[in-house]
Chains A and B, each alone.
Chain A
Amino acid sequence: MNAQKLDRPDATGRFGDFGGRFAPETLMSALDELEKAFIDAWDDVGFRAELDRWLTEYVGRPTPLHAAPRLSEELGVEVLLKREDLAHTGAHKINNAIGQVLLARRMGKERIIAETGAGQHGVATATAAAALGLECHVYMGEVDIQRQALNVARMRLLGTEVVPVTSGAGTLKDAVNEAMREWVRTVETTHYVIGSVVGPHPFPWIVRQFQRVIGDECLSQLGERRPDVVVACVGGGSNAMGIFYPFAGTGAELVGVEAAGEGIGTGRHGASLGAGTPGILHGARTYMLQDEDGQVEEAHSVSAGLDYPGVGPEHAYFLEAGLARYVSVTDAEALEGVALLARTEGIIPALESAHAVAWVAKARDELAGRTVLINLSGRGDKDMGTIIEWMEGRL
């Protein structure tokens, strides 16, 4: 069956069977308040004009749509790249961060908290908070703090306090847990800028609305043309939903690429949709990695941004409604994707975004003669440490 995409989740915050609001009672009134404030802001031409001004004059939107001639020739597939890596701070995360920090300021909040994995959402939120003059604290797993030292330094320079999270495996999932715990303590004065299309309602919807600018821009940049396939990497899934949502219903096939890590069969991966089961994670019903008792299992990916055992509930809906399909590529394939794009187009992508490039290379026979739009969600500078290890054969 092919269902329709939904303008917004239903009254219970669900996209079909997914989403909802499994949150501690202390947060419930704040979630209600946030939903009302977002609806009010989104319908306010003044707010939208202010957001557009920030996206244009500060973020640098619209980001280019680049027809990638040498990559296209090498693969025998016509490839278009949406250059979110050229947005200020180097990834699509800034679209949501600017939107939510503007919303927080409008709501009269004095303080911002956020979680981060690879550090891109942390840097984007720290940037938005600096530019708009709000206090900011970012929760980051201590393992990620070690592997993303550059982004930690950027956040500190931007005036944000980076709070190390030692619980669990010290990665993205634990950073979300700790940011939510902090929000339970400070909910009356603080807004939690969640970084992906995850969390209790209304977060998945708000983040999708702030990220849909990616797909909306592509549609207007393409004029009458339409791609046959739209490809994006999926961790929590914000860059993917940002480009998928406007393209759903246009006839384009939507392909989300999850992290297969060391291989789905090894159990060390981040493929929540491809190899997970429905459950409740971070306040929403969605697909996730878990055992028979519902204990959350650790994800694994060479890319910190895809190292997450859940996924946004709207992706779970897209999967079950047949609106998108979800595939995966391994760590090794993703690193080959980095090299391929660097060599053919002079662009070093983030390890996350390289998953999308790598899948197109892997599926070139299936894609031959078709036009493929890849969301190049971020740049690879932050990953050079990992990439150097791989180049030297140490990975």
Chain B
Amino acid sequence: MIRSMFGPDHKVLLPYMTAGLPNEEVSPDLFAAMADAGADGFEIGIPYSDPLMDGPVIQKASQEALEAGIDVDAALRVVEKVAHRTGLPCLAMTYANVVFRIGLEAFCARLASAGAQGVIVPDLPVEEAEPVLGAAAASGLGVVLFVAPTTGEDRIRAVAARDPAFIYGVAELGVTGEREKSSGRAVELSRRVRAVTDIPLVLGVGISTPEQAAEAARVADGVIVGSALVRRVLEAASPENAAKSLNEAVRDLRAAL
């Protein structure tokens, strides 16, 4: 189902949002607002105490969600509601310690029973991914693996050889967060990935505006937009405003792709 998002004439738009933001009850409404605006699926963040690959905005979202009591169970209840309400593919994003602490089989089984289609773990390089790939496959989940501008050809081949659900191309050096201007390094990264594999390539990190999304989509099969959307929720005066603001933002992104 993850692969079915992609098509020759369709650029995939995957919004990232932290589960349980601003609270467990309202959270699914925010995803529904983005689905209405043309999202193709979601990267749903299970909050973690030490999000090493995330910048200030998603760090703050994780911390606020944890303080609001969004543990893994609560986050999975959100995933379940979003999957059911929107019918779109949901990929859970969290850090390796959460996955290993709960246990690979147990974690993947819980994700699958919540209706998630896949899992994204930003501190799980291909060398450490084998056990997770096995557990995910046993539960029918896809795994997303990463490449970055610093990734060499041999590593790109190793990632492709695992046949991930899609390849997450890190578009910028650094952690997640908005950038004024793109470095353009994703163009060269995309060319190097394309030389090796036809597995769908989705670019993320530092893609926040419709212009940046359009630029990225020219060289990839889709884009992930996170901090720019999460910031709207953190800054919103009310849940209704957050939903409206997300709907507008995703609509603009969709139109640009």
Do A184 and B49 touch across chains, with their CB atoms under 8 A apart?
no
| Given A186-B173, A279-B97, A279-B101, residue A25 in contact with residue B151 (CB < 8 A) | yes
A25 / chain B contacts, CB cutoff of 8 Å: 122, 125, 146-148, 150-151, 155, 170
Do A22 and B123 touch across chains, with their CB atoms under 8 A apart?
yes
Which of the candidate stretches A59-67, A117-125, A263-271, A288-296 sits at the interface with the other chain? A288-296
CB<8 Å pairs between A and B, sample of 16: A21-B125, A22-B96, A24-B125, A25-B155, A25-B170, A26-B148, A28-B150, A167-B63, A168-B49, A180-B52, A181-B53, A185-B173, A187-B150, A290-B101, A293-B71, A295-B48
Do A168 and B50 touch across chains, with their CB atoms under 8 A apart?
yes
Does B124 count as interface, using CB distance less than 8 angstroms?
yes
Within 8 A of A (CB), among B214-248: none
User: Using a CB–CB distance below 8 Å, which chain A residues touch chain B?
Assistant: 12, 20-30, 167-168, 173, 177, 180-181, 184-188, 279-283, 285, 290, 292-296
Tell me the minimal C-beta distance from A108 to chain B in angstroms: 16
Do B125 and A293 touch across chains, with their CB atoms under 8 A apart?
no
Name the residue among B99, B102, B150 with the largest chain A CB count within 10 angstroms. Answer: B150
B18 / chain A contacts, CB cutoff of 8 Å: none
What are the 4 closest A-B residue pairs judged by CB atoms, nearest first? Answer: A294-B101, A185-B174, A25-B146, A26-B148
Instruction: Give the distance in Å from the alpha carbon of A338 to the alpha carbon of B187 in the complex.
Output: 59
Does B134 count as interface, using CB distance less than 8 angstroms?
no
A295 / chain B contacts, CB cutoff of 8 Å: 48-49, 66, 71, 98
Tell me the minimal C-beta distance from A33 to chain B in angstroms: 10
Within 8 A of A (CB), among B38-71: 48-50, 52-53, 55-56, 59, 63, 66, 71
Instruction: Give the distance in Å from the alpha carbon of A68 to the alpha carbon of B155 in the complex.
Output: 55
Instruction: Give the distance in Å from the alpha carbon of A21 to the alpha carbon of B125 in the complex.
Output: 8
Tell me the minimal C-beta distance from B255 to chain A in angstroms: 31
A27 / chain B contacts, CB cutoff of 8 Å: 150
A180 / chain B contacts, CB cutoff of 8 Å: 52
Instruction: Give the distance in Å from the alpha carbon of A28 to the alpha carbon of B121 in the complex.
Output: 15
Within 8 A of A (CB), among B75-110: 95-102
Do B127 and A181 touch across chains, with their CB atoms under 8 A apart?
no
Instruction: Give the distance in Å from the alpha carbon of A316 to the alpha carbon of B193 in the complex.
Output: 38
Does B9 count as interface, using CB distance less than 8 angstroms?
no
B interface, size bucket: 35 or more
User: Using a CB–CB distance below 8 Å, which chain B residues touch chain A?
Assistant: 48-50, 52-53, 55-56, 59, 63, 66, 71-72, 95-102, 122-125, 127-128, 146-152, 155, 170, 173-175
Task: Tell me the interface secondary structure of chain A in the complex.
Answer: mixed
Do A181 and B50 touch across chains, with their CB atoms under 8 A apart?
no
Tell me the minimal C-beta distance from B8 to chain A in angstroms: 27
20 other contacts beyond A24-B122, A25-B151, A28-B155, with CB at 8 A cut-off?
Answer: A23-B123, A24-B123, A24-B125, A24-B148, A25-B150, A26-B174, A28-B127, A29-B152, A167-B56, A168-B49, A168-B50, A173-B50, A181-B53, A181-B175, A184-B175, A185-B173, A187-B173, A293-B71, A296-B50, A296-B97
Name the residue among A21, A167, A184 with the largest chain B CB count within 10 angstroms. Answer: A184
B59 / chain A contacts, CB cutoff of 8 Å: 167
Tell me the minimal C-beta distance from A298 to chain B in angstroms: 9
Tell me the minimal C-beta distance from A75 to chain B in angstroms: 41
A177 / chain B contacts, CB cutoff of 8 Å: 50, 52
Do B150 and A293 touch across chains, with their CB atoms under 8 A apart?
no
Do A293 and B52 touch across chains, with their CB atoms under 8 A apart?
no
B48 / chain A contacts, CB cutoff of 8 Å: 294-295
Instruction: Give the distance in Å from the alpha carbon of A296 to the alpha carbon of B72 in the complex.
Output: 14
Q: Tell which of B63, B102, B124 touches A294, judged by Cβ atoms closer than 8 Å.
A: B102
B149 / chain A contacts, CB cutoff of 8 Å: 26
B151 / chain A contacts, CB cutoff of 8 Å: 25, 28-29
* B101: nearest chain-A partner, CB-CB: A294
Tell me the minimal C-beta distance from B136 to chain A in angstroms: 17
Instruction: Give the distance in Å from the alpha carbon of A242 to the alpha carbon of B131 in the complex.
Output: 33
Q: Tell which of A184, A188, A292 touches B101, judged by Cβ atoms closer than 8 Å.
A: A292
* B54: nearest chain-A partner, CB-CB: A181
